[in-house]
Amino acid sequence: MFIKDFVLFNPKGKKPTDYVNYIDTSSVEDGKLLGIQYLTDNIPSRAQRVIEEGDILISSVRPILKHNYYVSQTIENGIASTGFIQIRADRSKVIPQYLYYFLTEENKVRMYQTIAETSQSTFPSFNKDVIENMAFPDVSLAEQQHIVDSIRNVA
């Protein structure tokens, strides 16, 4: 099974009109939310990804910096930068946090960086097809949950 078989990439959503709680790639680091910008005007053009609890944000720019985040709770009027690949998992097939751990393993980050370094863009970057076409292991939901719980208990 491939990741594209059970996720939506960069799903469209209704953008708020009065204010946004904006998350840029520099707002997260290795799974930690460092800050949210509350914006009512001068909203960056990159503020396009309408996020929901359970979404995964993988920075497509300079992946070695690990600007990745799992949205563990609802962020009212949450919007993320297009510098992220936004991933929304089908919860009947995968536990989103397990998928986040899978996608942010050190060997995956090194692979993203290697691909990014060959890009023709201004900054090292990669696109969503790298993740879309990645094979996903056959792990039951119960086993995925056990792994997520184990990682939480260690952290």
pTM over 0.85? The answer is yes
The reported pLDDT for the residue numbered 153 is 84
For residues 122 and 150, what is the distance between their CA atoms, to the nearest angstrom?
40
Q: What's the gap between Cα 85 and its chain centre?
A: 6
Percent of the chain with pLDDT over 70: 99
The band of 32, judged by pLDDT with boundaries at 50, 70 and 90, is very high
For residues 21 and 10, what is the distance between their CA atoms, to the nearest angstrom?
18
Fold of 3-154: Adenine-n6-DNA-methyltransferase TaqI; Chain A, domain 2 (3.90.220)
User: 77-108: per-residue pLDDT in tens?
Assistant: 999 999 999 999 999 999 999 999 999 999 99
* Contact (Cβ atoms closer than 8 angstroms) between residue 97 and residue 149: no
Average pLDDT over residues 6-25: 95
